[in-house]
Amino acid sequence: MRFDLKFMPRAERELRDLEFDEDRRDLVKLKKVRKCLGLLQMDPRHPGLNSHVYESLAGVSGVKVWESYVENNVSTAWRVFWHYGPSDRVITIITITPHP
């Protein structure tokens, strides 16, 4: 089942910064983020994403927030935080960030 991705403003900024901001531009990281988003769009349970509920954060109206891996086992590993909705077959990307 394919999902549509909706980006919150913070996630849009993070993605845009990886593409264009001179101080934060990182094309290798951008490629990994895009791959993660593509996998998330096709199958949020893809094993390579290691998607799991992020217990330390709740979304609007108490919706479960999920964490998916952009990369793992590196000191600067990035994550994508997201939730299902607001409608069927939609995933809302909350933020794209280095592992907290």
1-57 pLDDT, tens digit each = 799 999 999 999 999 988 887 777 778 889 999 999 999 999 999 999 999 999 877
> What is the total count of domains within the chain?
1
How many whole angstroms separate alpha carbon 92 and alpha carbon 73? 26
Which CATH number belongs to the domain containing residue 62 in this structure? 3.30.2310.20
Q: For tokens 């954060």, what's the residue? A: 57
Question: What pLDDT does residue 36 have?
Answer: 97
Which residue range(s) make up the domain with 90?
4-98
Q: What one-character-per-residue DSSP string does 26-69 give?
A: -HHHHHHHHHHHHHHHH-TT-GGGT-EEEEEEE-GGGPEEEEEE
Q: Which residues contact 38 (CB under 8 A, 6 or more apart)?
A: none
The pLDDT tens digits for 71-89 are 988 777 899 999 999 999 9
